[in-house]
Amino acid sequence: MLAVLHRKSVRNKPVGILGGTFDPIHHGHLRLAQEALEQCDLAEVRFIPGGTPPHRDAPCAAASHRLNMVRLALQGNASFVLDEREIHRVDPCYTVDTLRSLRVELGAQRPLCLLMGGDAFLSLHTWHDWNNLFELAHIVVVQRPGLPLGNAITTADSALRQQYTARLAPVPRVLHESPGGAVVVLDMPLLEISATDIRRRCAEKKNIRYLLPDAVANYIQSHTLYT
C-alpha cells in the first residue's frame, strides 16, 4: 500500500528539464540538476542534449560524442534521465517544441520545470516563441557565478523583466500546484565551471580532472576531443 502511494506521488511530482549543448557535460550542469531535484522536490531531471542549436555556434564535439558523455555522466543516479528527443534531429530544434512534445508524453496537468542558469534566463527573450514557454512549463533559474539574477534583471530586456516580475514565486512549493507559469530562483553553491573553459584547457593540453566526472574526462582523452 505504501509502495503504491509512493509511486503515485512520484508520478505527480514535477519533472525537471535541463537542455544544453553539453559540449562537454560538467559538474556545473550536474550540480544544477541535483540542487533543483532536491530544492524543488522533483520526480526526476531529464537531460536533453541539443542537436542543432538555433541560438549559438555549432557544438565542437559530434552529437554521438556529446550523447555518450551525458550517458556516462548520468550513470549511477536513478533520478537523472537521458532524453534523446532533440539530439538526432537535423533541423534547428526549439525549446518550445521540445516542451510541447513533453506535454504530449506527460499530459496537460503534470508540472514541468525548465531548468537553466541565470545567464540563459537573461537571454530568454531571444528564444523562438519565448512567451509560450510559460504556458508550457515553470522556469527554474539557478544563479551562476558572478551573475546574481536580482541585480542583472534590472537592466534586462523590459518584456523579460515584466514576465519575471509577474511570475516570480517565493517558494519552490508553488511548482507542485500548477502545470507551469511560475518563475523560481534557486541559490546554489557557485561552481565556476563552463564547457568553454574545459574545451580551452583541452586545447592547451591542461588537466581537466575534477571539473567533470572522471568517466567523461577519460572519454574526452581517449577520443582526443577538443584538442
Name the site residues for ligand ATP (rule: CB under 6 A). 20-23, 28-29, 32, 116-117, 119-120, 142, 144, 191, 193-196
Q: Which of 110, 116, 158 is nearest to 139 (CA)?
A: 116
Q: How far is the CB of 155 from ligand ATP (least distance, A)?
A: 18
Are the C-beta atoms of 134 and 181 separated by less than 8 Å?
yes
Q: Which is nearer to ligand ATP, 138 or 144 (CB)?
A: 144
Q: How far is the CB of 108 from ligand ATP (least distance, A)?
A: 25
Q: How far is the CB of 41 from ligand ATP (least distance, A)?
A: 20
Which residues 6+ apart lie within 8 Å of 148 measured at CB?
118
Q: Which is nearer to ligand ATP, 131 or 196 (CB)?
A: 196
Q: How far is the CB of 141 from ligand ATP (least distance, A)?
A: 9
Cell matching residue 114: 525548465
Q: Which is nearer to ligand ATP, 1 or 196 (CB)?
A: 196
Q: Which is nearer to ligand ATP, 102 or 109 (CB)?
A: 102
